[in-house]
A and B are shown apart, each in its own frame.
Chain A
């Protein structure tokens, strides 16, 4: 098994150092071997996760689609959708088919002298103390060797307990196989030495993947840089969210936020269900945010039941006929939990 560091390619600005080509081009037209893109070995076991720097997110949604592409996720209603009116967010929420969700927050003063358009790619937080894992009756939810939290579809019985247990509203039933689903941090790719699809696709390195310890250092440096820049007095300080152990033992997908967590629809004090605190952000109070905020944050409060109903109505047929290698219950190596 190849030992390799989990430095995400998205953050390496400089091309790999290699033998200088000089002025003479070196043709390399032959098709490279698979190992050039998917090394045969897995990442060594250590806590891995996401650091999402929301201050550089351009809201392109490449993460949403790259996730769907790799994980073979369908679209709600086969792609037929309505305009939410909530800025450019038509995905609306995380659920069983949407494991990444880009949020858009418009903050503009009436005279436009003070204006921001915040964007943030939301995802499962892979909590160190995970409520979903705690309540799962079948043992379908496991903690992996990378300290991530993964739902095994073939063990899940669709009981929905985990849905209510998640303080972030991440999990929902996928209407295609009727099991609870969410981000796996591309567990299967990690076993191939490939970084998660969303992080690889992200053009601005807003989503960074790597060992948690290294990510925290990077996030701290960026935070200090941001804090050193001038900002209007009325504007809340940038901060890290979930990068320490102040709640849920820490988040393996943590954030750099440029405002209060509530502005991004994140609970200020998320807690485990066993602690009898609000079960999810949707029921948590969302504070009044920003001056003249037009984004209809209320939409985010809408829970997924109505959407789940829509999704269940989907007609799926001929599944997999054009899609080799994508069948349920295949023999991927068993997770060594």
Chain B
């Protein structure tokens, strides 16, 4: 949200180039062991080994390999990282080394002036200017406890918008601000394709800057003030991390950043699952911008995602708030009535998002095909609108209230994985029908006869009126398709065998369900059915695609990929070569603009997602041949770029910052392939920049799109081309990350005593979801949940496999010997862990890897629980998520699963 795309900025393989690696919010060695190979290679590099740091409450298999362990209380990472920012801004090195000044002044919005009415948390005791009450609409489950009117957060004298990866709740319209264009000039426009005048009308005045960074309303000065009280003492008091350990981490990051050094940060859901999760990641982005690590080899932020295509399922969104390619889902909460309204609301006139009309019209063509015409506004009136937060937790609450009748659970197991899982299982009993599709009989499929609620008599099979269907699934080797991994790399997997019996691919299920529904609706004259009847739905396999297999009606993955990639309307054999080919006049059909280019020509031999050529890109620099990214192994969106924002790997003048860290640079002699004119960006990756735009190019005043950005603006998705130290829009809970306590915390907010937790978080005060008050003496311990190497998620893909089951066979609670002694518990003895939501039993694993911390002068214990266990499978155990609270971060409604409170007693 500070950089422009919702994706890892770099890839794990780039970590071999790192001089220091901070792993925080992640147990990388355990949860991503094979990505950790690159960390180990950096550590073993001779000469100049990298320093590995791990900030985590526990001593894990990652810590075992780290040079520095900073033990911190779960949920206090913003205090920790904010402390590093303060340390950097108070250091001599940061001011003496010209690199930092040049990078930050040129590539970030440090110099930009902010609205004079802006008030920081330092001025208002923990909240930003503009806080007010939240008013629920008809849907009623958005859950916010407050909301900001963020006008004062804007750039002085203008406004800068954010699209694509702005807060889901802003995209959806739940929060009335922050997404799309920020309300620039509204001169009348035709609203007709290709919408050029519409985009032009949205161009805002340029921002005012102070290149000396001295103006008190400059982003830089505001930033300095915001973190000025995040001192080592404060960090130690909040996080429990000893001061010297904290300072070692901060110094290591600072000293290993510079023109010839880069530091990387790796995170995972240890950062995301908080009521301020996106802000935690934002703190890391902010730090990496200050240290000049973004867009450079061995630098940046590695997001370690946990599901095979969790990136893909966000890009190709099975998410309520967005449609393909990070466009906002049409919503009744915004001005989305017509295509022109939608485009006026969502298009950023400057930066690459100025192309939104092309993306949106091509998307509508992919849905409604020939029926989408300029005359009928591309069929947009058929497209459904959202009405509020329809994400996981609100939907389960709606289900508990009887407002949801049917459900598909496909490859997801909320009976174990859902927060406050007991509540969620009981909600399932309110459904009329439930379809579960999985490889094994999951806890969700069997909730009606095996759940704890059945065992304890709260529910009985007779009382549950839900019809349940279980469809067995094909596995990865039994179907064709693509996954998008954590580095945005799309890769195709081939089918090696038919699935057994009636097991079918998930695509088969949805395709054939769609065909049946088409038959059921055939001939309907109802207006509400016309969109569905016009929806294109033809993925019949070519005979050769199924010739070798028993299952002959498997839909064609290649035809689906063609629709995602895009083609010339009416000519499906003319695939689009990339998103640059998109048009806003209906002449191109493309579901996902960001995936365009993965399949530029028909035939699997041309499917770049299936290419498996390991040869790396090479390039000559000063006569020396350098080796870069493996560009022919799969296809990374966008446009096969492997490290994002890589324009920043070169100085403003286009030459590499250093030979050691060369990645992408300007070659003034290389001819541009399209125009033949000399001058092109080149290097070891696909440049994430307009190829022929010289470093000296000036921004064109009043222009739209990339013309509005200069040759030194590396963040091309941002309306101002800058990395955002200050997020003027896009986030609903503040432009700077601020330390708040988790909603359930044993400690007061030492920085802002009057503002314990986020003033705008989402919570649902309903029966069955009670929470502990701050410093509740009944629940004195911090509970954190996590994964083990040997298991996966809710265990469906691991607890049914004997090879994995035997490796971690039972649920355990990791506690320190100190806590064990207090409670009279021996190793492997049973303990009962309780929260206001419920209690579970686990075996104690007593270990000095768990360490009591001193927080605010008091001893604090953590209890660690893996969350892989459930009541089905070869090995079983109590459901850890029975303990968790349904509470949401205000930007994306992610739950707070990594830091809440509990009690523990000998069972």
Chain A contact residues, CB within 8 Å of chain B: 13-16, 18-23, 25-32, 56, 58-62, 64-65, 68-69, 74-85, 87-88, 90-91, 106, 108, 110, 112, 115-119, 203-205, 225, 292, 294, 296
Whether A204 and B611, one on each chain, are in contact in the complex, defined by CB atoms closer than 8 angstroms, is: no
Whether A80 and B632, one on each chain, are in contact in the complex, defined by CB atoms closer than 8 angstroms, is: no
**Docked CA distance A119–B789 (Å):** 14
Mark out the residues of chain B between 812 and 828 whose CB falls within 8 Å of any chain A CB in the assembled complex: 812, 817, 827-828
Specify which of A20, A80, A87 is in contact with B616 (CB 8 Å cutoff): A20
> Which residues does chain A contribute within 8 Å of B848, judged by CB atoms?
106, 108, 110, 112, 115, 292, 294
**Docked CA distance A183–B847 (Å):** 32
> Which residues does chain B contribute within 8 Å of A13, judged by CB atoms?
16, 41
Closest Cβ of chain B to A80, distance in Å, is 6
> Which residues does chain B contribute within 8 Å of A87, judged by CB atoms?
847
> Which residues does chain B contribute within 8 Å of A91, judged by CB atoms?
806-807
Q: Given the known A-B contacts A82-B809, A119-B61, are A26 and B613 also in contact in the complex, defined by CB atoms under 8 Å?
A: yes
B441 at the interface (CB under 8 A from A): no
Of the listed stretches B266-274, B587-595, B599-607, chain A binds B599-607
Whether A88 and B808, one on each chain, are in contact in the complex, defined by CB atoms closer than 8 angstroms, is: yes
Whether B494 and A31, one on each chain, are in contact in the complex, defined by CB atoms closer than 8 angstroms, is: yes
**Docked CA distance A1–B147 (Å):** 73
Specify which of A26, A56, A65, A292 is in contact with B615 (CB 8 Å cutoff): A26
Whether A61 and B789, one on each chain, are in contact in the complex, defined by CB atoms closer than 8 angstroms, is: yes
Q: Given the known A-B contacts A20-B616, A60-B789, A116-B64, are A81 and B875 also in contact in the complex, defined by CB atoms under 8 Å?
A: yes
> Which residues does chain A contribute within 8 Å of B618, judged by CB atoms?
20-22
Specify which of A65, A82, A83, A117 is in contact with B61 (CB 8 Å cutoff): A117
**Docked CA distance A68–B809 (Å):** 17
The residue in chain A whose Cβ has the minimal distance to the Cβ of B810 is: A83
> Which residues does chain B contribute within 8 Å of A74, judged by CB atoms?
802
B87 at the interface (CB under 8 A from A): no
Whether A26 and B632, one on each chain, are in contact in the complex, defined by CB atoms closer than 8 angstroms, is: yes
Whether A21 and B613, one on each chain, are in contact in the complex, defined by CB atoms closer than 8 angstroms, is: yes
The residue in chain A whose Cβ has the minimal distance to the Cβ of B812 is: A83
Chain B contact residues, CB within 8 Å of chain A: 16, 29-30, 33-34, 36-37, 40-41, 44, 46, 59, 61-65, 69, 71, 492, 494, 604-608, 610-618, 627, 630-632, 635, 640, 682, 686, 788-790, 801-810, 812, 817, 827-828, 843, 845-849, 851, 874-875
Specify which of A27, A69, A84, A225 is in contact with B608 (CB 8 Å cutoff): A27
Specify which of B71, B612, B874 is in contact with A80 (CB 8 Å cutoff): B874
> Which residues does chain A contribute within 8 Å of B788, judged by CB atoms?
88
Whether B613 and A56, one on each chain, are in contact in the complex, defined by CB atoms closer than 8 angstroms, is: no
Whether B617 and A79, one on each chain, are in contact in the complex, defined by CB atoms closer than 8 angstroms, is: no
Whether B803 and A65, one on each chain, are in contact in the complex, defined by CB atoms closer than 8 angstroms, is: yes
Can you pick out 8 interface pairs between chain A and chain B where the beta carbons lie within 8 Å of each other?
A28-B611, A56-B40, A62-B33, A64-B807, A75-B802, A78-B874, A81-B810, A294-B847
Given A118-B64, A203-B36, 13 further pairs, Cβ under 8 A: A16-B614, A29-B604, A56-B44, A68-B803, A75-B806, A79-B804, A79-B806, A80-B805, A81-B809, A83-B810, A83-B843, A116-B64, A225-B46
Whether A85 and B614, one on each chain, are in contact in the complex, defined by CB atoms closer than 8 angstroms, is: no
> Which residues does chain B contribute within 8 Å of A68, judged by CB atoms?
803
Whether A90 and B40, one on each chain, are in contact in the complex, defined by CB atoms closer than 8 angstroms, is: no
The residue in chain B whose Cβ has the minimal distance to the Cβ of A69 is: B803
**Docked CA distance A14–B494 (Å):** 26
> Which residues does chain B contribute within 8 Å of A204, judged by CB atoms?
33, 36-37, 40
Closest Cβ of chain B to A29, distance in Å, is 4
Whether B847 and A106, one on each chain, are in contact in the complex, defined by CB atoms closer than 8 angstroms, is: yes
**Docked CA distance A84–B817 (Å):** 17
Specify which of B606, B615, B812 is in contact with A27 (CB 8 Å cutoff): B606
Q: Given the known A-B contacts A64-B807, A108-B848, A294-B827, are A203 and B615 also in contact in the complex, defined by CB atoms under 8 Å?
A: no
Whether A117 and B63, one on each chain, are in contact in the complex, defined by CB atoms closer than 8 angstroms, is: yes
The residue in chain A whose Cβ has the minimal distance to the Cβ of B62 is: A58
Closest Cβ of chain B to A330, distance in Å, is 21
The residue in chain B whose Cβ has the minimal distance to the Cβ of A293 is: B848
Specify which of B610, B801, B817, B828 is in contact with A29 (CB 8 Å cutoff): B610
> Which residues does chain A contribute within 8 Å of B30, judged by CB atoms?
58, 60
The residue in chain B whose Cβ has the minimal distance to the Cβ of A322 is: B500
Whether B41 and A85, one on each chain, are in contact in the complex, defined by CB atoms closer than 8 angstroms, is: no
> Which residues does chain B contribute within 8 Å of A112, judged by CB atoms?
59, 71, 848, 851
Whether B632 and A25, one on each chain, are in contact in the complex, defined by CB atoms closer than 8 angstroms, is: yes
Whether B607 and A27, one on each chain, are in contact in the complex, defined by CB atoms closer than 8 angstroms, is: yes
Whether A83 and B29, one on each chain, are in contact in the complex, defined by CB atoms closer than 8 angstroms, is: no
Whether A203 and B37, one on each chain, are in contact in the complex, defined by CB atoms closer than 8 angstroms, is: yes
> Which residues does chain B contribute within 8 Å of A20, judged by CB atoms?
615-618
Closest Cβ of chain A to B500, distance in Å, is 8
**Docked CA distance A59–B808 (Å):** 13
**Residue picked from B30, B614, B809, most chain A C-beta under 10 Å:** B809
Q: Given the known A-B contacts A15-B614, A16-B614, A58-B36, are A78 and B802 also in contact in the complex, defined by CB atoms under 8 Å?
A: yes
